[in-house]
Chains A and B, each alone.
Chain A
Amino acid sequence: MTPLAAYLVLSALLFAIGLGGALARRNAIIVLIGIELMLNAANLNFIAFWRYGPNPEAHTGILFVLFSIGIAAAEAAVGLAIIIAVYRHYRTTNLDRITSMKG
């Protein structure tokens, strides 16, 4: 297995773990953590392709990861704010008990 393939498999495994957690857990915060893991798996792919790709002097992979980290930070802030607002309304973060949109 080449180093690039090893990193890609590691990234796929991380993505699958995050997806499984996001689909199987019932707590909203854990679902958000799973989404963060999936975003990080994508970032690992970018860095691995930059390192072992044909044009590393362009730094495209690193710069994409930097922007992606910025977007993910904004996503985490907004997601946790929504979870806190929903918790204030329903007094729970259990996704199975948050059933109506209108409140």
Chain B
Amino acid sequence: MSAGFYLVALMIVGSAVAAMSLRNLVHCALSLAVTFAGLGLAYLQLQAQFAGFAQVLVYVGAVAILIVFAILLTRGSEPEPEAILSPGWLWGLGIAALTFVVSGGAILSSKLLPAIQGEPPTATVKQIGDQLMTKYILPLEVVGLLLTAALIGAVIIAMREKEGGQ
């Protein structure tokens, strides 16, 4: 494996661990943005330019900012005086470690993984656009409808309740 892969992997894993373990929630959100940017870099390394830039636009640009807004709106930026881990945290970490050991072992011992190391495939924006507008037109429309419904639903859920409702 190239050095670039290890750099990107270190960036992703390190910032993901930081996002999951830091005490201050704003620091967690910023580490999460670094993780998303690292994933975008990994997509670029894998020759998926369009997915990489979509990742940067949607995750680094929108989702991370959304999470920062939610943290600030819920006053989560003040450090919590109490423990940050739930009572059953040892079980949770144990289950996560078990998941990694099982899936990692399955990957490393698998003989079914395709061993093709040929030319890197090309995926230009034009090709992806053609596919989206012909073969995948129905899923595209459904995703558009779903996004509209989800955003309207989010606004309605987060809207202030009427007087007397609380």
Contacts and interface: CB of A to CB of B under 8 A. Distances in A.
Do chains A and B interact in one complex? yes
A23 to B, nearest CB: 3
B162 to A, nearest CB: 13
B74 A18 contact: no
B16 A14 contact: yes
B1 A37 contact: no
A51 B46 contact: yes
User: Number of contact residues on A: which range applies?
Assistant: 35 or more
Contacts of B128: 59, 62-63, 66
Interface of B is mostly: helix
* Chain A CB within 10 Å, residue with most, of B36, B93, B158: B158
A17 B20 contact: yes
Interface in A1-49: 1-10, 12-27, 29-30, 32-34, 36-37, 40, 43-44, 47-48
Interface in A86-103: 87-89, 93-96
Contact of A9 (B35, B36, B108, B161): B108
Nearest to B42: A44
Given A13-B104, A20-B20, A43-B39, A65 B51 contact: yes
A37 B16 contact: yes
Given A2-B117, A67-B139, A84-B73, 7 more contacts: A10-B42, A23-B86, A37-B32, A52-B114, A57-B121, A80-B66, A81-B157
